Amino acid sequence: MNTQPKTARRHIARPRITPGAPPGSLHAVPGSAPARITLLTIKQGIPCAPHPLSTLSNLPVPENDRCHWVRVTGLGALEPLQVIREFYGIRPMALEDILSPGWRSKVEQSGDFLFMALQAPPGAQSETKNEYLFVLYKAGLIITFEDTPTTLIDTLWQRISAAPTPKAIGSVGAYLAYATLDLIIDRFFPLLYKTDEALAELEDSIVARVPTLEEINRLHKVKRDLLTLRRLLTPYHELELAFRQIHLVQTVTDLVPYLNDLRNHITQAVELVEAYHDIASSLNDIYQSTLTNRMNDIIKLLTIISTIFMPLTFLAGVYGMNFHNMPELSTTFGYPIVLGVMLAIMVGMLWFFRKKKWF
């Protein structure tokens, strides 16, 4: 059974940029299916059952007493997207961003809409892909665009069905936009907690002994995943502030407690990412220090051995000249005496090194 934590680093899309193309150029997403539209209507905080729209002529218009959620799945054909853009007055620049997943998460005013480009980490144990979601919101209407169906919308719609929008909320659309951000931020915490567990295991291994190559590879993988999480999470600080400062949201004072809670979650997630990244970096430093100390011990041992054998080599060289007038040649115990002198030199040098605490 694989106990490794999910990673957010895989399958990160890159924005498709065509050098020299004029702003607002539209190109369908390669490999994506044609647009499929699903409608969810929320009246008095209670959602109706979502149902697919058979034709684009059935697109709903904003209403005061209800909020329509138009979910567009599939960006592989331009024609239906152009019809939706013209029907709702979506600006070409916003649609250009929608057709190029991978941009940094952001929120901005786009005509009558509040436009949000969102990146989210995997939301289930079996998932490895990050998810990309584009949200266009104004009073009484939310339009979301997805390259492929995401679990974000599925989870959010299930949450709405289980817990209807609070009656104290004056703008259902603004609350749903907040709920989307809150759901994305909540996805970071399981990944961070699993990263904490992985770092704890690696810390026990690296501090106790010289780590194996597999453990070092796991450490580098954790660091890379943390960098990806930080890349995904950092824009949400700015996004939450911009969302709060948009004039439409400023008038919705009943959302303030929810936005404060969202800010706290973002801050906590960012602090965890930074703390875990520091821990991973310190573990890498410990590993490098361990390697250096081990190498120093090896070099010291080899130096001691070389130093001990230097005088022995000198004596062996002198007696290896075999001069006939050397007195030891005619002595019965000359050879053992020389070996004894060599042994005494070795013992004396080892005693001297130990006294100096060189080993």
Tens of pLDDT along 279-331?
888 888 887 777 787 788 788 888 888 888 888 787 777 766 665 656 666 66
Residue 298 counted as domain residue: no
Nearest residue to 131 via CA among 112, 105, 107, 113: 105
For residue 226, the domain's CATH number is 3.30.460.20
Residue 113 has pLDDT above 60, yes or no: yes
Q: 336 and 267 share a domain? A: no
Q: What is the pLDDT of residue 168?
A: 58
Mean pLDDT of the 139-145 span = 89
- 72: DSSP letter: E
Q: 85 and 144 share a domain? A: yes
Q: 251 and 327 share a domain? A: no
Can you tell me the distance from the alpha carbon of 262 to that of 4, in angstroms, rounded to the nearest whole number?
Answer: 29
Mean pLDDT of the 167-177 span = 73
Where is mean pLDDT largest: 22-36, 90-104, 163-177? 90-104
Segment (H or E) for 146: strand 141-146
Q: 71 and 216 share a domain? A: yes
Residue 86 has pLDDT above 80, yes or no: yes
CA distances from 131 to 13, 116, 144, 349 (A): 9, 14, 13, 68
Q: What is the pLDDT of residue 321?
A: 64
Can you tell me the distance from the alpha carbon of 357 to that of 335, in angstroms, rounded to the nearest whole number?
Answer: 33
For the chain, the helix, strand and coil percentages under 3-state DSSP, each to the nearest 5: 55, 15, 30
Least confident of 123-127, 208-212, 225-229, 304-308: 123-127
| 128 Cβ neighbours under 8 A, 6+ residues apart | 6, 7, 10, 11, 122
The tokens for 314 are 């000198």
Strand 66-73, strand 141-146: pairing: parallel
**Most distant CA pair in the chain, distance:** 122
Residue 166 has pLDDT above 80, yes or no: no
Residue 307 counted as domain residue: no
Q: Which domain holds residue 355?
A: 322-359
Residue 5 has pLDDT above 50, yes or no: no
- 43 — phi, psi (to 5°)? -125, 125
Nearest residue to 145 via CA among 240, 34, 243, 47: 34
Residue 11 has pLDDT above 50, yes or no: no
Q: 180 and 265 share a domain? A: yes
CA dihedral 230, 244, 247, 113 (to 10 degrees): 50
Residue 317 counted as domain residue: no
Q: What is the pLDDT of residue 70?
A: 93
Tens of pLDDT along 246-267?
755 555 667 788 888 999 999 9
Q: What is the pLDDT of residue 17?
A: 61
287, 311, 337 — which closes off a domain? 287
The tokens for 17 are 């940029």
Query: What percentage of the chain exceeds 90 in pLDDT?
Result: 13
Residue 180 has pLDDT above 50, yes or no: yes
Q: What is the pLDDT of residue 38?
A: 92
Can you tell me the distance from the alpha carbon of 205 to that of 199, in angstroms, rounded to the nearest whole number?
Answer: 10
Residue 29 counted as domain residue: no
Q: 272 and 339 share a domain? A: no
Q: What is the pLDDT of residue 167?
A: 64
Residue 2 has pLDDT above 50, yes or no: no
Least confident of 36-45, 237-246, 318-327: 318-327
Q: What is the pLDDT of residue 123?
A: 67
Exposure string of 65-85, with b = 16+ CB inside 10 Å and e = fewer, is ebbbbbbbbbbbebebbeebb
Q: 133 and 236 share a domain? A: yes
Q: Is 232 exposed, middle or buried (0-12, 13-18, 19+ CB in 10 A)?
A: buried
Average pLDDT, the chain: 80
The tokens for 323 are 């001069």
Q: Between 47 and 251, whose confidence is greater?
A: 47
Q: 173 and 79 share a domain? A: yes
Number of domains in the chain: 2
Nearest residue to 246 via CA among 112, 45, 58: 112
Q: What is the pLDDT of residue 18?
A: 61
